[in-house]
Structure 1
């Protein structure tokens, strides 16, 4: 599954784990993407959306 929200475009972010001795190793943070049925321009479609968009009501779920 793609790690990109189709509503807001949120995707994977990268950064570093930083130890106490200040050694750095690469790591990534992935958004919580859910595949849901939603109403898009009057039709029911399956979309990949982040839980933040679902919770804030940016997308209307289909029943």
Structure 2
């Protein structure tokens, strides 16, 4: 499953772990993506959606 929200486009971000001695190593932050059944234009569709979009009501879950 791709780590991209199909609603807002939120995806993987990169940056550094920084130690006490200020050594830097690459790392990534992944969004909390859930596979949900949602109502899109009147029909049920399976989508990959981040939890921020689910919580804020941008996606209507199918019953």
TM-score by length of 1: 0.99
1:29 counterpart residue number: 29
Give unpaired runs (5+ residues) of structure 2. Answer: none
In 2, Cα distance between equivalents of 1:42 and 1:31: 27
Three-state SS of the structure 1 residue aligned to 2:25 is strand
In 1, Cα distance between equivalents of 2:12 and 2:19: 22
Please state how far the C-alpha of 1:21 moved relative to its aligned partner. Answer: 0.4
1:52 lines up with 2:52 in the alignment: yes
In 2, Cα distance between equivalents of 1:49 and 1:13: 16
Q: CA RMSD in A?
A: 0.3
Please state how far the C-alpha of 1:13 moved relative to its aligned partner. Answer: 0.1
Give unpaired runs (5+ residues) of structure 1. Answer: none
TM-score by length of 2: 0.99
| Segments of 4+ moved more than 3 angstroms | none
